[in-house]
């Protein structure tokens, strides 16, 4: 099919980001979506979402597609880092197919078109429009939004690559015919590793060690998967073989050996930083995984929910004024976060998770054990890092605990040189906080090692966190 009329927006990709943004833009603009898939509800992803992002993104209308959620976090490494804590924050699992159907219905009710089985092939940018070529004809728009995900052909065409890490994921929704055994509904295995999963027992994730995770969705089903975190994507067939071995043969995954695979889940999503999100070209915006919409720890769907309404709102005047140059479009995405500080901290954590040896990671994970130098509520720090909700005081407290746990040489050996800038920014911020709080408070944090002192001061810190709320 070919159309000569000029749409306001052509969106390539009717996944989470394309449909979510289209559901808003189609209220005021003429929007067309194209996607190569056969059914609009198809997705190879499965989503766990912190409850708070529904408020951040003013997206309570999607609440009916949320259910259950994490109640307990666990880790189990072959080196003995077995940590368990009850979830402090509230999370949801998501009925992913139903959510996509909901957004697609809104798009259609607003009069926009969704063309499936329409793979993208090329584009041509003119001063006043973009022509998007697909295998089923051309679509013209004032603006093109690329929502094709972590393997965007459009980014590849522009030779664009941010300073990304990639989460490479392969897994499945499974049924558990033998029941849950010791596992409970709401369990989230955050980090399980195996001695024999690489040739080098102490290998890091970037050297090819897979991590096993599972989320117990209900009494009889789970989402189980392996993931890698590295600067290159891991080949899909390789991940599939590893997943099948770990799921069916590894001794410590015996609860899953007889499971029945219901639906495969796989893909790549970026883990970036502040720099990687500034992505646009004249008359082209990159959204979702294509635009590195993610927290540095990789919660891409959470980022989409937090930002899609705001993004569409901010884009509206630019579309009305037809001011769709690269600089204007680059300004549109703003992270929902308390401060840049959290993103930097999260980014350093991402570097660390990717590069640290298995034994260093064990020590890092043990930081989240209740009673570690982080205090009785140590797990809360972990949850706050990956939900980007640490206060500056808490981040400083965490930095101090990290410095007590590792010596600087160990950190310098693990973190790649490009993180040094981030660490310097962290140190600078820590100093600012120290000066604001009075240097005595920091000395107290650094040098008082008695447990009751740590617990007392920690209560103060987390009390501040809860009362200060979200921006």
Ligand X SMILES: Cc1cc2nc3c(=O)[nH]c(=O)nc-3n(C[C@H](O)[C@H](O)[C@H](O)COP(=O)(O)OP(=O)(O)OC[C@H]3O[C@@H](n4cnc5c(N)ncnc54)[C@H](O)[C@@H]3O)c2cc1C
Chain residues in the site for ligand X (CB under 6 A): 12-18, 34-37, 43, 45-48, 119-120, 147-149, 153, 169, 225, 265-267, 269, 288-290, 299-302
Nearest distance, CB of residue 316 and ligand X, angstroms = 20
Nearest distance, CB of residue 161 and ligand X, angstroms = 16
Nearer to ligand X (CB atom), residue 78 or residue 266: 266
Nearest distance, CB of residue 157 and ligand X, angstroms = 11
Nearest distance, CB of residue 92 and ligand X, angstroms = 10
Nearer to ligand X (CB atom), residue 343 or residue 423: 343
Nearest distance, CB of residue 93 and ligand X, angstroms = 9
Rounded to whole angstroms, the Cα distance separating 456 from 403 reads 20
Nearest distance, CB of residue 331 and ligand X, angstroms = 20
Nearer to ligand X (CB atom), residue 143 or residue 360: 143
Nearest distance, CB of residue 39 and ligand X, angstroms = 10
Nearer to ligand X (CB atom), residue 37 or residue 363: 37
Nearer to ligand X (CB atom), residue 302 or residue 391: 302
Rounded to whole angstroms, the Cα distance separating 193 from 432 reads 38
Nearest distance, CB of residue 53 and ligand X, angstroms = 8
Nearer to ligand X (CB atom), residue 33 or residue 433: 33
Nearer to ligand X (CB atom), residue 134 or residue 366: 134
Rounded to whole angstroms, the Cα distance separating 48 from 274 reads 23
Nearer to ligand X (CB atom), residue 36 or residue 437: 36
Give one word for 387, left, alpha or beta, with left for phi > 0 and alpha for psi -120 to 50.
alpha
Nearest distance, CB of residue 15 and ligand X, angstroms = 2
Nearest distance, CB of residue 57 and ligand X, angstroms = 12
Nearest distance, CB of residue 336 and ligand X, angstroms = 13
Rounded to whole angstroms, the Cα distance separating 83 from 76 reads 7
Q: 3-state SS of 220-253?
A: CEEEEEEEEEECCCCCHHHHHHHHHHHHHCCHHH
Nearer to ligand X (CB atom), residue 137 or residue 421: 137
CB-based contact 415:348 (threshold 8 Å): yes
Nearer to ligand X (CB atom), residue 35 or residue 383: 35
Nearer to ligand X (CB atom), residue 300 or residue 373: 300
């Amino acid at each position: 099919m070919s159309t000569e009329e000029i749409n306001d927006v052509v969106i390539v990709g009717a996944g989470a980001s394309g449909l979510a943004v289209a559901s808003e833009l189609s209220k005021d603009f003429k929007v067309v979506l194209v996607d190569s898939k056969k059914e609009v509800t198809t997705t190879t992803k499965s989503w766990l979402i912190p409850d708070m992002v529904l408020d951040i993104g003013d997206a309570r209308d999607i609440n009916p597609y949320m259910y259950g959620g994490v109640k307990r976090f666990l880790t189990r490494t072959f080196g003995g880092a077995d940590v368990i804590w009850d979830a402090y924050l509230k999370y949801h699992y998501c009925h992913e197919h139903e959510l996509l159907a909901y957004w697609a219905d809104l798009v259609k009710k607003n009069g926009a078109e969704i063309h499936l089985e329409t793979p993208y092939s090329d584009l041509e940018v003119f001063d006043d429009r973009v022509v998007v070529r697909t295998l089923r004809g051309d679509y013209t728009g004032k603006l093109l939004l690329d929502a094709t995900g972590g393997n965007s052909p459009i980014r590849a065409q522009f030779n664009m690559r941010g300073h990304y890490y990639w989460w490479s994921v392969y897994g499945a929704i499974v049924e558990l015919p033998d029941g849950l055994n010791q596992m409970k509904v709401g369990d989230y295995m955050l980090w399980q590793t195996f001695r024999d999963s690489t040739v080098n027992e102490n290998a890091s994730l970037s050297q090819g060690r897979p991590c096993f995770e599972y989320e117990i969705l209900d009494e009889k089903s789970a989402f189980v998967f392996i993931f890698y975190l590295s600067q290159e994507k891991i080949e899909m067939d390789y991940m599939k073989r590893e997943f099948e071995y770990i799921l069916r043969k590894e001794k410590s995954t015996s609860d899953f050996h007889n499971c029945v695979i219901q639906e495969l889940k796989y893909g790549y999503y970026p883990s970036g930083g502040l720099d990687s999100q500034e992505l646009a070209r004249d008359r082209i915006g990159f959204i979702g995984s294509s635009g590195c919409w993610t927290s540095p720890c990789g919660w891409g769907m959470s980022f989409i929910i937090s930002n899609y309404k705001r993004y569409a709102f901010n884009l509206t005047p630019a579309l009305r004024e037809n001011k769709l140059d690269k600089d204007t479009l680059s300004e549109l995405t703003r992270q929902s976060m308390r401060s840049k500080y959290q993103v930097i901290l999260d980014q350093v954590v991402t570097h660390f998770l990717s590069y640290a040896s298995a034994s260093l990671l064990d020590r890092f994970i043990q930081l989240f054990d209740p009673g570690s130098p982080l205090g009785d509520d140590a797990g809360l720090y972990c949850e706050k890092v990956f939900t980007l909700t640490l206060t500056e005081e808490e981040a400083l407290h965490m930095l101090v605990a990290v410095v007590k746990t590792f010596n600087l040489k160990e950190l310098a050996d693990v973190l790649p040189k490009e993180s040094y800038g981030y660490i310097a920014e962290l140190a600078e911020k820590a100093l600012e906080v120290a000066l604001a709080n009075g240097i005595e408070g920091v000395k107290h944090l650094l040098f008082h090692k008695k447990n009751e002192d740590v617990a007392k001061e920690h209560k103060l810190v987390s009390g501040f966190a809860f009362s200060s709320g979200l921006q």
